[in-house]
Amino acid sequence: MPLDPLVLSRMQFALTAIFHMLWPVLSTGLAIFLVVLEGFWLRTRDPFYYRQARFWAKLYVLNFGIGVASGLPMEFQFGTNWAPLSEFVGDFFGAVLGFEGAMAFMLEAGFLGIMLFGWNRVPPVVHFLSTVMVAFGANLSVFWILSANSWLQTPAGGSFADGHFHVQNYFAAINNPFMLRSVWHMSLATVETSMLVVAAVSCWWLLRREAAEAIRRFFSFSLKLALVILLVVAPMQVMAGHESALQVAEHQPTKLAAIEGIWDTQPAGSAPEWSLLALPDEAAERNRWQLGVPGGFSWILEGRSRLSHDVRGLDSWPQADRPKMVGLLFYSFRVMAGIGIAITLLMAVTILLWWRRGLTAETLSQLPWLGWAWILAAPAGYLAIEAGWVVRCVGRQPWTVYGELRTADAATVLPAGEILTSLISFAVLYSVLLVCALWFGSRIIRRGPDLDLTAP
């Protein structure tokens, strides 16, 4: 098969995005956790909270550094590999990336130095303010990036003419139909995943027999705080996920058909089966086999026993207008939703046990499976996020700007060898990066907090 520059550019974007996404998640969610911890410290002046803040900040900074570095190719790829897209949507999309840089990223990076090294250099209130700014900047980044990505999913606020998008109303473009629920869904995801990491690290320490009493106290606290935050966030995320699915149903029918493996149009008034598992066959345009819940689809989509309107199947569009890789989309969606529900259930079980036995190091040592369940939930959080982005962006194909600009027309015409070189080196580099990040991250975790640290 001859190498197709379009395929290579897509692979490169997917590769860099999948790897990059692993890091900003923690630096966005954990930043909020750090604000809470430092808030405790500022109020009580108890060095316990100060040490909490210092320990978790170590994981934060490792993540932030790699996040910045691994994010650089994302921005520049729009120019190097997707120059026609840049020209087509630059008026709006480029402006939003500029806003992200000026409003969000610069804020985070500008105050980071003070947050990390400024403990003895600036007054505590200024330090707290810096931590707040870092967290605010990170979350503002989520807002702008998700607004930009949502606009590619549901372009609004202007018109397309002579190979350009002309903005008529910037606020309508920023506040496009997908924006609000996408930002909400992703913000919850960063907090949820970060708290899963905090809970997992805490459980790992609490399960260690040799951990000293002071260490147990330290991680009991961080576990509880993470669980309290999760108690709010995890159920909300299930709802936000459902809302996101509904907006897909409304605005991107091809994506809905692909994630549900629907090939034939389901008429209004019918009660179709909901497939739990299936083997979609794109050549035959049907599922080879499926395991389904009879009459379940309309309950999931509309909360009622019969569909109120037609749901189009994939075969109602010409092949060129629907996403490929239906199997990938079908299962990515199930992985994401399944993990979200599983974590909420784990949360509920833990709360129940907490209620009855008290959530202490002792409870965990009597119920090691509970600790291990939380430890396994941390990578599951990341997996859910990656799966969600696959659904979001692969499901949008064959469009880069949904319904307006095809991916094939968005790519720069480049020699395949050139993209292949950068693609392979990014693949190698990012793999090494991930291994190193896991290694150094686990080292920070294994070393544990410094309990002799004196507060400024």
Partner 1 sequence: MDFLDLFMPAVWFVILALFLLLYVILDGFDLGVGILSLTSSDEQQRSVLMTSLGNVWDANETWLVLMGGALFGAFPLAYGTILHALYAPIYLMILGLILRAVAFEFRENSSQKRPWNLMFGLGSVLAAAAQGVCLGTVLTGIPTDSQGHFIGSTWIWLNWTSLLVAFTLIQGYVLIGSTYLILKTSGDLQRQHVRTAQIAAATTLIGALVITSTTPWVSSSLRERIFDHQFLPLFIALPLLGIALIVQLFRSLRLGQEVWPMVYTVLLFVLSFAGLGLLVFPAIIPPSVTIFEAHASITSLVFMLTFIGVLIPIMLFYNLYNYVAFRGKVPSLEQAD
Summarize as ranges the residues that interact with partner 1 (CB under 8 A).
Answer: 61-62, 64-66, 68-70, 72-73, 75-76, 78-80, 83-84, 86-87, 89-103, 105-107, 109-114, 116-122, 133, 166-167, 170, 412, 414-415, 418, 422, 425, 429, 433, 436, 440, 443-444
Instruction: Answer whether 104's CB lies under 8 Å from 138's CB.
Output: yes
**Token digits for 260?**
């549900």
For partner 1, the closer CB: 304 or 443: 443
Q: Which residue number, 69 or 352, has a Cβ lying nearer to partner 1?
A: 69
For residue 195, the number of C-alpha atoms closer than 13 Å in the C-beta half-sphere is: 25
State the minimum distance, in angstroms, from the CB of residue 183 to partner 1.
18
Q: Which helix (H) or strand (E) holds 47?
A: helix 47-80
Q: Residues with Cβ < 8 Å from 273, sequence gap 6 or more? A: 290, 292, 293, 294, 295, 296, 297
DSSP code string of 252-303: -HHHHHHHTT--S-B-TT--PPEEEEEEEETTTTEEEEEEEETTHHHHHHHS
State the burial class of residue 1 (Cβ atoms within 10 Å of its Cβ: 0-12, 13-18, 19+).
exposed
Contact in structure between 237 and 192 (CB atoms under 8 Å): yes
Which CB atom, from 117 or from 289, has the smaller least distance to partner 1? 117
Nearest-approach distance from CB 38 to partner 1, in angstroms: 17
Nearer to partner 1 by Cβ, of 267 and 415: the residue is 415
Nearer to partner 1, 61 or 249 (CB): 61
Report, in Å, the least distance between residue 12 CB and partner 1: 10
Query: Shortest distance, CB of residue 287 to partner 1, whole angstroms?
Result: 41
Q: Residue 81 CB, nearest distance to partner 1 (Å)?
A: 8
What gap in Å lies between CA 233 and CA 287, rounded to an integer? 35
Nearer to partner 1, 61 or 341 (CB): 61
CB of 17 vs partner 1, minimal distance in Å: 14
Shortest approach of partner 1 to residue 431 CB, angstroms?
13
Query: Which of 78/374 has CB closer to partner 1?
Result: 78
Residue count (the chain) = 456
Cβ 455 to partner 1 shortest distance, Å: 12
For residues 88 and 167, give the distance between their C-alpha atoms in angstroms, rounded to a whole number. 12
Please say which residue, 121 or 357, places its beta carbon nearer to partner 1.
Answer: 121
- Minimum CB separation of residue 414 from partner 1 in Å reads 6
Whether 61 contacts 116, CB under 8 Å: yes
Q: Which is nearer to partner 1, 240 or 437 (CB)?
A: 437
Answer for the pair 96, 149: CB distance below 8 angstroms, yes or no.
Answer: no
* Pair 307, 313: CB distance under 8 Å: no
Name the maximum alpha-carbon separation found in the chain: 70
Tokens of 359: 């959530």
CB-based contacts of 173: which residues, under 8 Å, 6+ apart? 92, 151, 155, 156, 157, 158, 167
In this structure, the number of other CB atoms found within 10 A of the CB of residue 305 comes to 10
